[in-house]
Amino acid sequence: MNTLWPVALITFKEGIRNRALYGITLLALLFFIANFLISGMFMQEVGKVAIDIALSAVSLSGLLLVLFVGINLMAKDLDKKTIYMVLSRPISRSQYILGKFLGMALLIITTMVFLSVCAALSIQLIKMVYPNYFPRFSWPMILLALSFNTLSMILLSALAFFFASFTSTSFITLVLTVIVYIIGQSLSDVKALVDAPQTVGIHVSAATVKLVQLAYYLFPNLSVFNLKIQAAHSLFLPASYILWTVTYGLIYTALAITGAAIIFRLREFP
Amino acid sequence: MIKLTNISKEFKEGIQAKKIKAIDDLVLEVQKGEVFGFLGPNGAGKSTTIKILVNLIRPDKGKALIMDRDVNDTAVRKHVGYLPENPYFYDYLTAEELLWFGGKTTGLSATAIKNRADELFQKVNLENARKRQLRTYSKGMLQRAGLALSLIHDPDVAILDEPMSGLDPLGRKMVGDVILELKARGKTIFFSSHILTDVERFCDRVGIIVAGRLRLVDRLDNLLVGNTKLEDVFLREVEKAGGGIEI
C-alpha cells in the first residue's frame, strides 16, 4: 500500500487535470441541457426519452473518458518514457499496474459521480416540468443503471491496461480497446442470432456458431451492464441478475489487471 | 557498491529480428564514495548499461549488483537515485507533487519530504517554479526537477544519465556542485556524459565503452599525465576500437 497509493494518487491527479476531461464533461453538460429541449419535443413518453438521453450522455462521456484520458494515462508513460521515473523507484511492476489502475478507477468513479448527479438533476427538472409523463419512475433503477455503467467503464479501462501492457503505442491500445468495446456491446445479440437463426430465417454454419460461442466466453459481455431500457421503463430486475453482473464485472476486471501485471513483469523498457 | 559481472545484452531489430549486440561481456566495479564517469560515443551502450542497473532492462547474461543485492530486488532502489537522459514527467503534476511522489515511494514522512524538497528546490534553483505544472517547464527545468527527484530520498548511489544535457552553463555548474557535494558526503556516483571537461572535473575514475565493449577503465590521474587530455584518451580508444568518432 505504501507504493500503491502514491502511484494511484499521481495517476488520479494527472487524469483529473487533463484538459480532455473538461471537454468530455462539457459535452455531457450540453447533452443534459439539450435533454430538456429534446424531451419537450416528444409529447408522449417524455419521461422515457429524458432518462434515455441522460443515461446515454453519461455512457458516452464514460467511454470517451476511458478512450481518450484513461488510455493515455498508462500508454503515455510508455510513449514518453515517464515509466523510467516511476520504475526506478522501489516499485515493482505489478505494483505499478495496480497503482495506475486504482488511480484510473478513482478517476472514473469521481467523473461518473459528478456526471450522474448532473444527469439526475436534468431528469428531475424535466420531471418537474412534465410530471404527468413519469407514471412509472424509479430512482433506484436509474442509480443502478448509472452504477452499472461505471462498473463497465472500469472493466473497459482494465482491458485497456491489459492491451497497453504488451502494445508499443497508445494508438494500438486505443484501436484494440475500441474493437473490444464494439464486440462486447453486440456479443449478446449476435449469440442470440446464431443460437436461433430460424427466427429470422437465415442459415448459420456450425463453424460460425463455434466461433461466436468462443468469442462469447472470451470477450466481455458489456451489454449486461446496459440498463438504460430497464431504467427508462422502470422494469423489475431480479437481485440475482444484479449480483451476477457485479461479480462478472469484478472478476473480469481482476483477470484483465492480473494479466496486465504478468505481461508487464516480463517487459523491458529500452 | 556497484558490480557488473559479465553483462551481455542483445536487442532484436527490424522485421527479421536481426540481433544487435548492445553490451558484450561487461565487467565493472565502482567502489563506495567513488565518482565514476561512463563515456562512449552515441549508441555505445552507456544508457543500456544504466538501464540494466535500474532494472528497466534485464541482461541476457551476467549479474548486476548494487550494494551486494541483485538489481531485480525492488528494495535496493530505496538506496538508488536515477536521473534518466532527457527526463519526461507527468504534464499536469507540479514539481512539488513530483518530489512528494519520489519521497512517498521511498518511505519518507511528509515532514521529511517537505524539508528535503525545500533544500533541493533551492539547490537546483526551482524554488519559484515548484508549484507550477511540469508541462510549463523548459527542457533545462525538467532536467533540474529530475535531478531533485533522483535525490529526494538522499540515496547512497546516484546514477545519472547525461545529467548536463539541456542545461545552460549555470545549470551545468549547479549539477557539478551537486555532484561534488554528494562526493564530499561519501555517496557513490555513476554518471554518463559527453561533456569531457565536466568528467575531468568530477570523476575519480572513468570507463570508456565502444560498440558494447568496455575498452578502458582507469583512474583519471593515471590517464591525464603530462598534457594529455581526456578527449585525447577518448578519441584514441574509439579509434582503436574502429568505432568511428562521434562525440
Our count of domains for chain A comes to 1
Q: Is the dihedral of CA A52, A57, A60, A63 positive or negative?
A: negative
In the DSSP assignment, the letter for residue A219 is: S
Residue matched to cell numbers 497508445: A170
More reliable by pLDDT, B15 or B160: B160
* Of the candidates A50, A73, A215, A211, the residue with the CA atom closest to the CA atom of residue A133: A50
Q: Which chain B residues are closer than 8 Å to A85 by Cβ?
A: 84, 87-89, 146, 149
pLDDT, position A47? 86
Determine the Cα–Cα distance for residues B184 and B7; give it in Å rounded to an integer.
30
CB spacing of B105 vs A90 below 8 angstroms: yes
Residue pLDDT, tens place only, A193-246: 888 877 777 778 888 888 888 888 889 999 999 998 888 888 888 999 999 999
Chain A hits for B45, Cβ within 8 Å: none
3-class secondary-structure state, position A223: helix
Give the pLDDT score at B246: 41
Question: Is B48 close to A270, i.e. CB distance below 8 A?
Answer: yes
Q: How far apart are CA B143 and CA B129, in angstroms?
A: 13
- With a cut of 90, say whether residue A38 has pLDDT above it: no
**Predicted pLDDT of residue B244:** 47
pLDDT tens-place string over residues B77-94: 999 999 998 888 899 999
**Nearest CA distance, B41 vs chain A (angstrom):** 18
Distance between B222 CA and the closest CA of chain A, angstroms: 34
Q: Nearest by CB to A81, from B58, B77, B84: name it.
A: B84
3-class state of residue A103 by DSSP: helix
pLDDT at B247: 36
Q: Which residues of B touch A9 (CB under 8 A)?
A: 101
Q: Which residues of B touch A81 (CB under 8 A)?
A: 84, 88
Structural domain that includes position A258: 4-266
What CA–CA distance (Å, rounded) separates A269 from A81? 8
CB contact under 8 A, B74 and A90: yes
| d(C-alpha B52, C-alpha B68), whole Å | 15
Q: Which residue of A has its CA nearest to B88?
A: A82
Determine which of B72-81, B152-161, B235-244 has the lowest per-residue pLDDT on average.
B235-244
Asked if B75 and A90 come within 8 Å (Cβ–Cβ), the reply is yes
- Residue B132 burial (C-beta neighbours within 10 Å; 0-12, 13-18, 19+): middle
Q: Given CB atoms, is B101 within the 8 Å cutoff of chain A?
A: yes
The CA distance from B229 to the nearest CA of chain A, in Å, is 33
Kindly report the nearest CA distance between residue A270 and chain B, in angstroms: 6
| Least confident piece of the model among A111-115, B116-120, B193-197 | B193-197
What mean pLDDT comes out for the span B192-218? 90
Q: Would the pLDDT of A46 be above 80?
A: yes
Q: Is B212 on the interface with A (CB under 8 A)?
A: no
The more confident residue out of A234 and B115 is B115
In this prediction, residue B243 carries a pLDDT of 54
DSSP per residue over chain B, as a string? -EEEEEEEEEEEETTTTEEEEEEEEEEEEE-TT-EEEEE--TTSSHHHHHHHHTTSS--SEEEEEETTEETT-GGGGGGEEEE-SS----TTSBHHHHHHHHHHHTT--HHHHHHHHHHHHHHTT-GGGTTSBGGG--HHHHHHHHHHHHHTT--SEEEEESTTTT--HHHHHHHHHHHHHHHHTT-EEEEE-S-HHHHHHH-SEEEEEETTEEEEEEEHHHHS-TT--HHHHHHHHHHHTT-----
- When pLDDT is cut at 50, 70 and 90, the band that residue B31 belongs to is very high
ipTM of this model?
0.88
Confidence class for position A1, pLDDT limits 50, 70, 90: low
Residue B240: pLDDT band (50, 70, 90) is confident
Cell numbers for B195: 561533456
Q: Which residues of A touch B97 (CB under 8 A)?
A: 10, 13
In 3D, which of A166, A264, A87, A268 has the Cα closest to residue B60? A268
Smallest CA–CA separation between B68 and chain A, in Å? Answer: 16
Q: Does B15 touch chain A (CB under 8 A)?
A: no
Nearest to A17 among B51, B58, B92 (CB): B92
- Which residues of chain B neighbour A80 with C-beta distances below 8 Å? 88
In this complex, do B106 and A90 lie within 8 Å of one another by their Cβ atoms?
yes
Contacts of B81 (CB under 8 A, 6+ apart): B150, B151, B152, B153, B155, B157, B158, B159
What's residue A216's pLDDT?
Answer: 86
Report pLDDT digits (tens) over A70-123.
Answer: 888 888 888 888 999 999 999 999 999 999 999 999 999 999 999 999 999 999
Span A136-195, pLDDT tens digits: 888 999 999 999 999 999 999 999 999 999 988 889 999 999 999 999 999 888 888 888
Q: Do A270 and B91 touch (CB under 8 A)?
A: no
